[in-house]
Amino acid sequence: MTRELLEVLTPVHTPSSSAVAHRESRLRTAAGHLVLGVLGVGCVIPIYWLYATSLRAPEDVYSLNPFPWPLSGASYAEAWDAVDMPRLLLNTTIMAAMIALGQLLTGLLAGYAFAAWRFRFQNALYLVFVATWLVPFQVTMLPNYVLLNQLGTLNTVLGVIIPNLCSALAVIMLRSHVRSVPFELLEAARMDGRTAWSTLWTVVVPNLGPALAALGVLLFVNAWNEYFWPALVLQRTNAVLQLGLRSFMGTEGNDWGPLMATAGSACLPVLLLYLVLQRRIVDGFVRSGLK
Amino acid sequence: MTELREFPAPDAHVPDLGPTSRTFEEVAAPDRVSAPAPVRLPLRTRLTRAAPPYLFLLPGLALLAVWVYRPLVTTVQLSFFSWNLLPTSPARPVGFDNYVRLFTLPEFPAALGRTAVLILGLLPFTLVVPTVVGLLARRVRGRAATVYQALVFAPMLVAPVAGAAVWQWLLDPGGGLVNRVFGTTSNWLQEPGPAQLAIIVITGWHVLGFATLVVAAGLAGIDSEYSAAASLDGATRWQTTRWITLPLLSPTLSFLLLMTLLLAAQWSFPLVNTLTHGGPSGATTNVYYLLWDYAFGSFDAGLGAAAGMIFFLGFGLLALLLVRLTERLSFHDS
């Protein structure tokens, strides 16, 4: 899709035969490269500096040398000693995976309903999903906190997962994805006497493979980076990465090397996932029917 | 598309069936009218045939009812009580006291003003720069554009707390990169003005990639034939951009404007929470941080709920106005 996208984005401009116009167009291209390059590098510098600092030897932490040399794993060793990193990684992975799967499932069911049927209160019910964007977390946190307390799931990862099992984003995206499944397929399944339920799993889902994967990754990343709700529910245990990281941040006298190593560890899985699946993520996002 | 949605369409079929069967089966009509049983049976069939979409919606709706709309109602109730969050001390009804108190507190309008500054400060990151990047990316071809896009998008993947940590390091008054490279001596996060600026820039850094992607999607959706036609008619590049591309992009831009308006304070929340704690002397306390502070800082649940309701209604109204305005002003393809 990135490639398709670029093809659409490439100028329709027809190269003029005159040398002046040609030089001008080259100049414009160069200016484009310059602006985009500076912006791109500017955006990545903080991320680069994060990893550069984390890989310096403890005595070099304040060095301005852009290349961390000699490389040292001392900061990582210290960070992994101070924080139970494997447990945090495991907890965070479980939390993010469960939330992403749950949101995919509820989103798929709701998106299928909105895309394949026409029914009473359809628009009103769709609005019920979209309007959740108007309700800020801070308005619902107290009653939800009390309910989780009554359910006895406070300070457990389960307490983070349950309230986040339905997301408007997943419903909106999957509605437009299901709509893109050819109607003939749904009709043929109905002729075959399949129920709506089996049509969903045998016809719709196999056709949505790549889109589901892309959306799943996006939801996983969102859940991984989630901060508010875990901060509230896991006040006593700090059982996920974002909170372990926060406990490392003091207001004064930060130990920058280990702090950067912790932050780097917390971001690494997501950044790797992005590097591997970059095209798919962008694809799933651009095609999500934001238009 | 209409065909697709008619798929099992029970609602649409059944009313049609009535008149048709009456006109075609006039002979059998008395029989039907006299027997009540067939009337009830179609009703039941109708119900079972109409049920599937609602059943598929049920899990999502149930979750939203429990975790979004129920607490919203509870918050409305809570806003009329005085309660310090302790289970042992009962909540005391106080009528509109919380609302009255809210409007007499000086920090309330101050937080509103700072939220406005935050929203205005973020607009360059969510509207201006993404549009410029999107338009420039059309001039740069091939792999390079993909790379630039990937670079701009990367900060979005950095967890807010990790972003806060690295920026705390970059802005450190002693050994931080910013002060040493630019020769400034600001203690960025401890001085009111610079702290607000820092929060705006860091939040902008986070959301820039997302906004750029949205604009790219919007530009991809614009039919290139329009600008081709314009350039055939002798329009310059700038004229094409100004009069064709930008108007067609306006729905995308208004979507981003809406998101900025509604979510700016949300986006900056983790940064404020970890970097400045609303300080120094309240300089970075925006509306949502104020809510958080009322509930878990001063344990004033009623006041927090009242503030939450005001913000919910205010932002809802703002969103409605914006959507209305956009519908009237936007240009649409076709």
In chain B, where are the structural domains located?
2-78, 97-329
The tally of domains found in chain A comes to: 2
Q: Which long-range contacts link B22-31 to residues 24+ away (Cβ below 8 Å)?
A: none
| Residue of A8, A29, A267 lying closest to B224 (CB–CB) | A8
Q: What pLDDT is attached to residue B14?
A: 44
Within a domain: residue A101? yes
pLDDT of residue B247: 85
A50 shares a domain with A129? no
- Residue A287: what pLDDT? 56
pLDDT, mean over chain B: 81
**CA-to-CA separations, B196 to B119, B162, B189, B284, in angstroms, rounded:** 12, 19, 8, 5
Provide CB contacts within 8 A for B206, sequence distance 6+. B155, B156, B158, B160, B163, B267
pLDDT beneath 70: ranges in chain B: 1-41, 330-334
Q: Does the pLDDT of residue A139 top 60, yes or no?
A: yes
Distance CA(B181)–CA(A225), nearest Å, equals 30
Residue A2 maps to a domain = no
Q: Are residues A63 and A117 in the same domain?
A: no
State how far the Cα of A250 lies from the Cα of A239, in Å rounded to an integer.
18
Contacts of A41 in chain B (CB under 8 A): 151
Q: Are A258 and A121 within one domain?
A: yes
Q: Do A285 and B251 touch (CB under 8 A)?
A: no
pLDDT value at position A101? 96
Does the pLDDT of residue A33 top 50, yes or no?
Answer: yes
Give the start-end residues of each E strand in chain A: none
How high is the pLDDT of residue B319?
86
- Interface mutation target, options A93, A95, A138, A287, chain B, most CBs of B under 10 Å: A138
- pLDDT at position A283: 62
Return the exposure string of B47-65: e unless at least 16 CB atoms fall within 10 Å of the residue's CB, then b: eeebebbeebbebbbebbe
Given an 8 Å threshold on Cβ–Cβ distance, is B164 in contact with A138? no
The chain-wide mean pLDDT, for chain A, equals 83
Among candidate residues A228, A217, A241, A244, the one with its CA nearest the CA of residue A164? A228
Say yes or no: A24 and A118 in one domain.
Answer: no
Interchain pair B237, A13: CB under 8 A: yes
- Taking CB atoms and an 8 Å limit, are A224 and B159 in contact across chains? yes
Q: What is the pLDDT of residue B29?
A: 53
What stretches of chain B adopt beta strand conformation (E)? 81-82, 92-93
Range picked from A1-5, A123-127, B219-223 for highest mean pLDDT: A123-127
Do both A32 and A171 map to the same domain? no
Hey, are the CB atoms on B141 and A6 less than 8 Å from each other?
A: yes
Beta-carbon separation of B311 and A136 below 8 A: yes
Minimal Cα–Cα distance from A24 to chain B, Å?
12
For residue B227, how many C-alpha atoms fall within 13 Å in the half-sphere facing its CB? 27
Record the pTM.
Answer: 0.80
Residues A58 and A124 both lie in one domain: no
A186 shares a domain with A89: yes
Q: Phi first, then psi: what are they for B144, rounded to 5°?
A: -55, -45
Q: What is the pLDDT of residue A250?
A: 65
Q: In the predicted model, is pLDDT for residue A13 greater than 70?
A: no
Spatial contact of B118 and A11, defined as CB atoms under 8 Å apart: no
**A155 shares a domain with A110:** yes
Closest in B66, B136, B221 to A36, CB measured: B136
Q: Are residues A53 and A169 in the same domain?
A: no
Determine the residue type at B11.
D
Q: Is the pLDDT of residue A201 over 80?
A: yes
A32 closest CB neighbour out of B7, B139, B172: B139
What's the rounded Cα separation, in Å, for the pair A277 and A283?
10
Q: What is the pLDDT of residue A286?
A: 59
User: Domain end: A72, A97, A115, which one?
Assistant: A72
- The answer, yes or no, to whether residue A161 has pLDDT greater than 90, is yes
Same domain, A250 and A115: yes
Among candidates A6, A249, A267 on the partner chain, residue whose Cβ is nearest the Cβ of B159: A267
Cis bond upstream, residue A206 (ω within 30): no
Residue span of the structural domain in which A275 resides: 82-286
CATH tag, B97-329? 1.10.3720.10
Work out the minimum CA distance from B288 to partner chain A, whole angstroms.
Answer: 7
